[in-house]
Structure 1
Amino acid sequence: MLMIKAILRPQKVTNVLSELSDAGFPAVTKFSVVGRGKQRGVKVGDIYYDEIPKEMLLIVVNDEDKDDVVNIIAKNAKTGEKGAFGDGKIFIVPVEQAYTISSGKAGL
C-alpha cells in the first residue's frame, strides 16, 4: 500500500476529487494548509506573501493503482500556465498496514 499526499491549489481540488471518485478512488482525506515552495512565496506590489493557501489530499491505494491516481491528480491540478509556479506537489510514501476501526479488519 502507498499513501499519496498531494498539495494543490484550492481552486483545483473540486475537479481532482470528482475525477478521482469517477475513477473508483472515492476515499480521500482533505484539509487546508499553508506553505510555500521553491519560489519562497509571492510578491504582489509591495506586499510579500510567504504563506500561500493550499489544500492537501491524502489517499491510500494499493501499489498497482499508484500511477492511475498520480496521473489523475497531475492532469486535473495543472493550471497549464506557462512557467506557473504553485500548481502543487505529489509525494508517495509506503504504508505498512491499515485497519478499519469499526470492523478491525486489516487492509483497505
Structure 2
Amino acid sequence: MIKIEAVVRPERVNVVLEAIVEAGCQGYSYTNVTGRGQQQGVEVFTGRGGQVVSRASVPKTIISAVVNDDQKDAVIEAIVANARSGEDGAIGDGKIFVSPVSEVVRVRTGERDGAAL
C-alpha cells in the first residue's frame, strides 16, 4: 500500500478529487493549509489605493489517500493532469509525496491491510 499526499492549489481541489476517484481511489481526505515553497509567497493588492503587500505564505490544500500499489501510477497521473495550471503548468501548482504504508487497520471491524481500505 502507498500513501499519496498532494499539495495543490485550492481552486483545483474539486477537479483533482473527481479525477482520483475516476482513477480508482476509493477514499481520501483533504485539509486547507497555508505554506511556502518555491513560489516564495505572492504580492497582493489591498485597500482602495492599491497598496502592494507581500504575503510570505499562500493558501494550499493537501489531499491524502492510501491506495494499493497497482493504483499508484494512475492516481499520480490523475493528480498531475488535473492540478496543473495551463498546458505547461506554473510555479505553485503543487507537489506530490509518495510513501509506503506498512499496515492499515479499520477501527470498526479490525480488518487489516487491503481489506481495511
Partner amino acid, structure 2, of 1:78: R
Cα 1:59/1:87, change in 2 over 3 Å: same
Aligned to 1:58: 64
**Number of aligned residues:** 108
Gaps of 5+ in 2: 46-51
Partner amino acid, structure 2, of 1:64: D
Aligned to 1:2: 2
Aligned to 1:100: 106
Cα 1:37/1:13, change in 2 over 3 Å: same
Measured in 2, the distance between the counterparts of 1:53 and 1:31 equals: 11
Aligned to 1:28: 28
Aligned to 2:40: 40
Cα deviation for residue 13 of structure 1 reads 0.5
State whether residues 24 and 75 of structure 2, in contact with CA within 8 Å, keep that contact through their aligned partners in structure 1. no
Measured in 1, the distance between the counterparts of 2:89 and 2:24 equals: 32
Aligned to 1:17: 17
Partner amino acid, structure 2, of 1:75: A
Secondary structure of the corresponding residue to residue 104 of structure 2: coil
What stretches of structure 1 move > 6 A for 4+ residues in a row? none
Which of 73, 76, 84 is the aligned partner of 2:90?
Answer: 84
Give the TM-score of the pair, scaled to structure 1. Answer: 0.91
Comparing 96-105 with 45-54, which one deviates more in the overlay?
45-54
Give the TM-score of the pair, scaled to structure 2. Answer: 0.85
**Percent of aligned pairs with the same residue?**
41
1:71 and 2:97 aligned = no
Cα 1:83/1:55, change in 2 over 3 Å: closer
Considering only aligned residues, what root-mean-square deviation do their CA atoms show, in Å? 1.5
